[in-house]
Amino acid sequence: MRQGRLQGKTVLITAAAQGIGRASALACAAEGARVIATDIQQSLLDSLAAASPAIEVALLDVRSDSAVQQLAQRVGALDALFNCAGMVANGSLLDCSEADWDQSFELNVKSMFRMTRAFLPGMLARAQTPGMSVSVINMASMASSIKGFTNRCAYGATKAAVIGLTKSLAADYVKQGLRANALCPGTVDTPSLRGRIASAADPVQAEKDFIARQPMGRLALVDDIAPMVVYLASDESRFVTGQTLLVDGGVTI
Ligand code: NAD
């Protein structure tokens, strides 16, 4: 039988109940990882646990420092941490309220700072074992410092901050066996994207517009993104750190 690419590894994923996080949890489990899938939606987590015996689930609101600390104590050392949680606040600078701005930074950036602080000591200890490397994967976006998009003021600012945070982690811990990379997807067909399309004034046109900006002529599927998460969590990417990995269907050609 083929050895899974993540055999023996423990991978924790935030926002894993649906969308990219869920597909990533399933893909990591299929490659032999023990997966800890966390989210705020218990019923969807339950259905994820039912889909694979390698997936353990835990309710986790990444905005709660105490909940994050408790989970880190309970779970122990990780080989890979995928900080996937994030939200889109729609609008230009003049549309963006202080509440939108603050919520976006809280969920998209501070949660990664908080999660990584909680799990980093255990990961660094694990990386001391000869031949071991540990990996932090932070969910950014092509809408960030990579490329500007209309109506993505707070979102683009947070995802650019994620890239900066990721590069600082990579620089500070490269000699201790920790790798940190930022994943930058194009437009992915997920429940949150479907929500944005449905809430547009003209949903049919909104979907056409999202597709029109994709040179490949289609939205990304979650299964177009999950293989990059597997790669970054695996030892195949052992010489890759501090990078922004675009999976964008050619938008930034
Ligand atoms: P999604 O809406 O399909 O799933 C988001 C998940 O986040 C949900 O399961 C939700 O319960 C969970 N969540 C919300 N608040 C949370 C909290 N406080 N704590 C823990 N979990 C919470 O989203 P998606 O489209 O798969 O996006 C996932 C990530 O990918 C986000 O960071 C997003 O910015 C990023 N991203 C998405 C796209 C896209 O086009 N869909 C493109 C680039 C980047």
Residues contacting 158, CB < 8 A, separation 6+: 86, 104, 105, 108, 109
Cβ–Cβ under 8 Å, residues 81 and 124: no
Question: Among all chains, which residue has been given the structure tokens 């429940």?
Answer: 191
Please state the domain extents for the chain.
Answer: 10-185+223-239, 189-219
Q: Which atom of ligand 1 is nearest to the CA of 220?
A: 40
Rounded to whole angstroms, what are the CA distances from 144 to 9, 53, 159, 160, 215? 30, 36, 5, 4, 19
Homologous superfamily (CATH) for 10-185+223-239: NAD(P)-binding Rossmann-like Domain (3.40.50.720)
pLDDT tens digits, 176-231:
999 999 999 999 999 999 999 999 999 999 999 999 989 999 999 999 999 999 99
What proportion of the chain, given as a percentage, has pLDDT over 90? 96
**Helix locations, 84-202, DSSP H:** 98-105, 111-127, 153-173, 191-198
Instruction: Name the pTM for this structure.
Output: 0.98
Which of the four pLDDT bands, split at 50, 70 and 90, describes residue 3? confident
At 108, the amino acid letter reads: N
132 CA from centroid of ligand 1 (Å): 30
Mean pLDDT of the chain: 97
Strand, coil or helix: 219 = coil
pLDDT tens digits, 82-108:
999 999 999 999 999 999 999 999 999
Q: In what order do the strands lie in the sheet with 80-83?
A: 55-59, 34-39, 10-13, 80-83, 134-139, 178-185, 244-247
184: left (phi over 0), alpha (psi -120 to 50) or beta: beta
Q: Which atom of ligand 1 is nearest to the CA of 62?
A: 19
Cβ–Cβ under 8 Å, residues 7 and 29: no
Which of the four pLDDT bands, split at 50, 70 and 90, describes residue 133? confident
- Report the residue among 40, 62, 88, 109 best suited for mutation to probe ligand 1: largest number of ligand atoms under 8 A from its CB: 40
